[in-house]
Chains A and B, each alone.
Chain A
Amino acid sequence: MGDVKHEGPLLRLEGITKAYPGVLANDSVSFELRVGEVHALLGENGAGKSTLMGILYGLQRADAGRVLFGDEEVAIAEPRDAMALGVAYVQQHFSLIPTLSVAENLVLALRFGGRRISLRDGAATVRELSARYGLGVEPDVAVERLSVGEQQRAELLKALAREPRVLILDEPSSLLSPDEVQRLGTVIRRLAAEGMGVILIAHKLDEVLAVVDRITVLRRGRNVRTLVRAQATRELLGELMIGDLAARVDQQRAPRAAAGDDVLEALDVSVGGDRGQTAVDGVSLALRRGEILGVAGLQGSGQVELVEALAGVRPLTGGVIRMDGRDIGALGVRARRRLGIGHIPADRRRGGLVGDLTIAENLTLPVAGERPFSRFGVIRRAAVNDHAVELIERFGVRTPGPAVAVAALSGGNQQKVVIARELWRQPSVVLACYPTWGLDFAAAAAVHEELQRQRDAGAAVLLASMDLDELLGIADRIVVMQGGRVAGEVDADAAGAEEIGLLMGGAAR
């Protein structure tokens, strides 16, 4: 990226320290952003990236340290102050109102920032920015009708309308397909070329390497190193980010196990979606003993609905599901669990766990009616507690004890609770939908290890994911879904991410 003019610093954070009870989220962290620079802030979950950016954006106050714009120290007490200084923050979750159009969302957002413009001007701004940066966003379309990628570009557009000097993008690629990521990269480069400073919060190395000028790596709240693009390699960054855990990445790929018989078969399965659409349209696939079948796809490709149908949560609208040759399509969730199906649902908080209940209660929820957990309908607390203590230990859930509400756990630990509950009895079929979504590296690695352990113990594992690295890393075979259908099947050993990517996006694009 030699075309960048390295002018003086646009922004400097110096010696930022921020403590939360029990954690030093930022320990004297420094960060510099130059004019026209794309600067990635890299680090694992909990490394302190978001805290640092929160301080810059006025969401938190630092305990110590200075924020300088140019050479001038500034006080940022709340987001308004940051906005006034020209900082825009595009957060991971969208803050768009689904029923309103893009232009209406823009007008509303600007009004919040104290600027009143008419709807017509708003629409004009949308068109102009969209054309200038190639965002491809129409002003009059309701946000709910946009794809995830389009919503994100609408969100970006909203930030750009404020004409920021500094743009913070938090994990912008997490929900995007490969070609949408590329498109976003192009937009980011153009913004930088116009002199904007762009901070990219990320943990996906490849995407970062493709667009940045410099990279600052944080680990456990501290600066590890700041390097320029030319010095950075994937391996080096991985090592800087996660330290000694890096060794585990390379070993992850175990030799492929010899797959056994079909355990679970879906034949021409169709399933309805939440909005009455046909979410899965005539899908056939088979899970084999001792094999991880990857199901690749983007959001809305029908993966979630397919997994839910296999688990018995969602009714079939057509087709047959067989387990060990027996038609189980009409069985409920509980009956399928008894047959040995474990299900790690897509959204652990809404679909997996009951946040208000304790860890022990969540762990025993599916089996509460069985001995030894209850007798004559009365729960035996000691048995429930012992069971929880054992699973907490076995699956490495970090918690003060089994009586803690699961809502109080971190995402990784919540997922461990789900996994413990689903896998402790060695099910013969494991259905895992986005099991590492939102987890940091170590937590995701633990999930992968557990799935592989199940596979090696003879289970038939289905892993639905949007993350190609994950699928290529641990799946033995990969089926690609697109628009509710199977778009193709590739062997994970030979498969290039490109081919899957094309299939996922619908090869026509």
Chain B
Amino acid sequence: MRLLRTRQGTLVAVGVPILSVALALVVVGVLLAANGSDPVAAYRSMVSAAFGSTFALSTTIIKTLPRLLPALGIALALRAGLWNVGAEGQIYVGALAAAGVALFGPVVAFPIAAGLALLAAAAAGAAWGAIPGALRARRGISEVITSLMLVYVAIHLTNYLVEGPWLASGSTFPATDPVPIELRLPIIWTGTLLNAGALVVLGVTVVVAFVLGRTVFGLQLRAIGANDRASRVAGLSVGWVTVAAMAASGALAGLAGGIEVLGARGRLIEGFSPGYGFEAIAIALLGRLNPLGIVGAALLFGALDAGGAGLQTTAEGVSSAIVPITEGLAVVFVLIGLGIVEMLNRRREARAMLAGSQSSERAVTHDSVAGPVVEA
């Protein structure tokens, strides 16, 4: 977790991710060139498909939305020191809940109906996130394992429903009936497919940033993430904050699932998420757990996704597989970069400590050098 420490200079926080993305693009470019493709042409067609027109831009934003909220959720949990790797499952249960409200909920007018469905989506995601949180808080079971396992429960539950009881009548394509118009998120940018979900995501992003930085809950969450022992001594209920952080994390992912059902897809489709919840982990890390950084990272992933789709239609012989390769490399480089920064910091700290204006800080300052270190 030390890698994710947020107490680092802005230069590191911004510079490392940007450099990492640039480096990833260079490496992929070299790979393309080695394969006989023209990397410049490939990148040009990607940029054009992601930003080249109003429609391209809206596509990038649409592709950003389902990644942004889960990434914010993951970051929220990580700030509390918790690895919610189950966002993918929380997306699916959120989608299920929204579709459930659409199919069986009360018939009410638009904003209320859609609002109800989105609330249900968030609540379902919250429940899915709270389970690993509670298991961790009560029994000390690793939330990594449980949240990941719940992903498969959620996916297969979705598969069962859309292939069986919820399958659109007379259809063989595993999806529900389209969502009634009262629940559809309307298009907000004429000439594109961008829907009102974008506004919801934007609003929620601001709320998350506010909660993290300005509320008691946010403070407690950051406190237990940075030092749960000291938090307990200070009287915080570490267990409660753990459950709440995981629930909030799940709620964000669930909401993303709901927005997909009511917005871009218009119904619940089997396998509609190609792994947004997993990509979101990478986005959270690339964005350094900072809401603004995550918005940037999610936009990058959205643009790569949109650009990758353009690639297949324009650039000869270039596979869109370069997109996940680029994404993966970028994250790997970020982690390496932060690792290097951390190593340099530690070395400097250790030296400063030995240099010692604080030489008798026995119990206190040595946790970074104590432990299994051989005298050098």
Asked if A350 is at the interface of the complex by the 8 Å CB criterion, the answer is yes
- Partner of A93 from the list B215, B231, B234, B370 (CB cut-off 8 Å) is B370
Known: A79-B376, A349-B367. A45 touches B362 (CB 8 A): no
- Partner of B214 from the list A93, A94, A98, A379 (CB cut-off 8 Å) is A379
Shortest distance between the CB of A97 and any CB in chain B (Å): 5
Shortest distance between the CB of A418 and any CB in chain B (Å): 9
Q: Find out whether the CB atom of A356 lies under 8 angstroms from the CB atom of B6.
A: yes
Interfacial chain A residues near B357, Cβ < 8 Å: 20, 23, 25, 45-46, 50-51, 410
Q: Find out whether the CB atom of A108 lies under 8 angstroms from the CB atom of B226.
A: no
Give Cα A365 to B222, complex, Å. Answer: 11
Q: Find out whether the CB atom of B351 lies under 8 angstroms from the CB atom of A353.
A: no
Asked if A440 is at the interface of the complex by the 8 Å CB criterion, the answer is yes
Interfacial chain B residues near A93, Cβ < 8 Å: 362, 366, 369-370
Q: Find out whether the CB atom of B233 lies under 8 angstroms from the CB atom of A313.
A: yes
Which residue in chain B gives the minimum CB-CB distance to A346? B363
Asked if A470 is at the interface of the complex by the 8 Å CB criterion, the answer is no
Shortest distance between the CB of B159 and any CB in chain A (Å): 39
- Partner of A357 from the list B223, B367, B373, B374 (CB cut-off 8 Å) is B223
Total A-B pairs in contact (CB under 8 Å)? 175
Which 7 A/B pairs are nearest by Cβ-Cβ distance? A50-B356, A50-B359, A334-B235, A95-B375, A438-B362, A356-B226, A411-B361
Q: Find out whether the CB atom of B360 lies under 8 angstroms from the CB atom of A355.
A: no
Interfacial chain B residues near A94, Cβ < 8 Å: 370
- Partner of B356 from the list A51, A313, A377 (CB cut-off 8 Å) is A51
Interfacial chain B residues near A421, Cβ < 8 Å: 234
Q: Find out whether the CB atom of B364 lies under 8 angstroms from the CB atom of A51.
A: no
Q: Find out whether the CB atom of B374 lies under 8 angstroms from the CB atom of A407.
A: no
Q: Find out whether the CB atom of A60 lies under 8 angstroms from the CB atom of B376.
A: no
Q: Find out whether the CB atom of A361 lies under 8 angstroms from the CB atom of B230.
A: no
Q: Find out whether the CB atom of A351 lies under 8 angstroms from the CB atom of B230.
A: yes
A-B contact pairs, 18 of them (CB 8 A): A45-B357, A49-B359, A98-B372, A171-B362, A311-B233, A348-B363, A356-B6, A357-B223, A365-B220, A366-B234, A374-B215, A405-B7, A410-B361, A411-B365, A437-B362, A438-B361, A439-B360, A440-B360
Give Cα A349 to B358, complex, Å. Answer: 14
Give Cα A379 to B215, complex, Å. Answer: 5
Q: Find out whether the CB atom of A203 lies under 8 angstroms from the CB atom of B360.
A: yes
Interfacial chain B residues near A112, Cβ < 8 Å: 374-376
Q: Find out whether the CB atom of A377 lies under 8 angstroms from the CB atom of B216.
A: yes
Asked if A354 is at the interface of the complex by the 8 Å CB criterion, the answer is yes
Asked if A223 is at the interface of the complex by the 8 Å CB criterion, the answer is no
Residues 147-166 (chain B) with a chain A CB within 8 angstroms: none
Give Cα A124 to B18, complex, Å. Answer: 56
Known: A92-B362, A381-B214; 18 extra A-B contacts, CB below 8 A, are: A46-B357, A54-B355, A98-B372, A174-B360, A175-B362, A201-B359, A313-B233, A332-B235, A333-B232, A337-B235, A354-B223, A355-B226, A361-B219, A365-B220, A369-B216, A411-B358, A438-B361, A438-B363
Which residue in chain B gives the minimum CB-CB distance to A375? B216
Asked if B237 is at the interface of the complex by the 8 Å CB criterion, the answer is yes
Asked if A414 is at the interface of the complex by the 8 Å CB criterion, the answer is yes
Which residue in chain A gives the minimum CB-CB distance to B7? A356
Known: A379-B219, A411-B361. A54 touches B231 (CB 8 A): no
Shortest distance between the CB of B97 and any CB in chain A (Å): 26
Interfacial chain B residues near A351, Cβ < 8 Å: 229-230, 233
Q: Find out whether the CB atom of A347 lies under 8 angstroms from the CB atom of B358.
A: no
Give Cα A364 to B215, complex, Å. Answer: 12
Interfacial chain A residues near B214, Cβ < 8 Å: 378-379, 381
Interfacial chain B residues near A389, Cβ < 8 Å: none
- Partner of B222 from the list A46, A79, A357 (CB cut-off 8 Å) is A357
Interfacial chain B residues near A25, Cβ < 8 Å: 355, 357
Known: A112-B375, A350-B230. A434 touches B215 (CB 8 A): no
Asked if B227 is at the interface of the complex by the 8 Å CB criterion, the answer is yes
Known: A59-B355, A411-B358. A366 touches B365 (CB 8 A): no
Q: Find out whether the CB atom of A343 lies under 8 angstroms from the CB atom of B233.
A: yes
Q: Find out whether the CB atom of B372 lies under 8 angstroms from the CB atom of A171.
A: no
Shortest distance between the CB of B218 and any CB in chain A (Å): 8
Bits for B271-313, please: 1 = Cβ < 8 Å to A, else 0. Answer: 0000000000000000000000000000000000000000000
Residues 25-42 (chain B) with a chain A CB within 8 angstroms: none
Residues 31-57 (chain A) with a chain B CB within 8 angstroms: 45-46, 49-51, 54
Interfacial chain A residues near B365, Cβ < 8 Å: 349, 411, 438
Interfacial chain A residues near B265, Cβ < 8 Å: none
Q: Find out whether the CB atom of B364 lies under 8 angstroms from the CB atom of A345.
A: no
Asked if B5 is at the interface of the complex by the 8 Å CB criterion, the answer is yes
Asked if A352 is at the interface of the complex by the 8 Å CB criterion, the answer is yes
Give Cα A440 to B227, complex, Å. Answer: 25
Give Cα A414 to B6, complex, Å. Answer: 20
Interfacial chain A residues near B367, Cβ < 8 Å: 349-350
Asked if B354 is at the interface of the complex by the 8 Å CB criterion, the answer is yes
Residues 134-148 (chain A) with a chain B CB within 8 angstroms: none
Give Cα A266 to B66, complex, Å. Answer: 56
Q: Find out whether the CB atom of A407 lies under 8 angstroms from the CB atom of B7.
A: yes
Q: Find out whether the CB atom of A357 lies under 8 angstroms from the CB atom of B216.
A: no
Asked if B196 is at the interface of the complex by the 8 Å CB criterion, the answer is no
Shortest distance between the CB of A298 and any CB in chain B (Å): 14
Asked if B236 is at the interface of the complex by the 8 Å CB criterion, the answer is yes
Among B229, B234, B354, B357, the one with the most A-chain Cβ atoms within 10 Å of its Cβ is B234
Asked if A129 is at the interface of the complex by the 8 Å CB criterion, the answer is no
Asked if A490 is at the interface of the complex by the 8 Å CB criterion, the answer is no
Shortest distance between the CB of A231 and any CB in chain B (Å): 25
Asked if B217 is at the interface of the complex by the 8 Å CB criterion, the answer is yes
Interfacial chain A residues near B5, Cβ < 8 Å: 356
Interfacial chain B residues near A45, Cβ < 8 Å: 357-361
Which residue in chain B gives the minimum CB-CB distance to A203? B360
Give Cα A60 to B348, complex, Å. Answer: 11
Known: A93-B369, A108-B374, A347-B363. A50 touches B354 (CB 8 A): yes
Which residue in chain B gives the minimum CB-CB distance to A335? B235
Asked if A281 is at the interface of the complex by the 8 Å CB criterion, the answer is no
- Partner of B230 from the list A46, A353, A405 (CB cut-off 8 Å) is A353
Interfacial chain B residues near A354, Cβ < 8 Å: 222-223, 226-227, 230-231
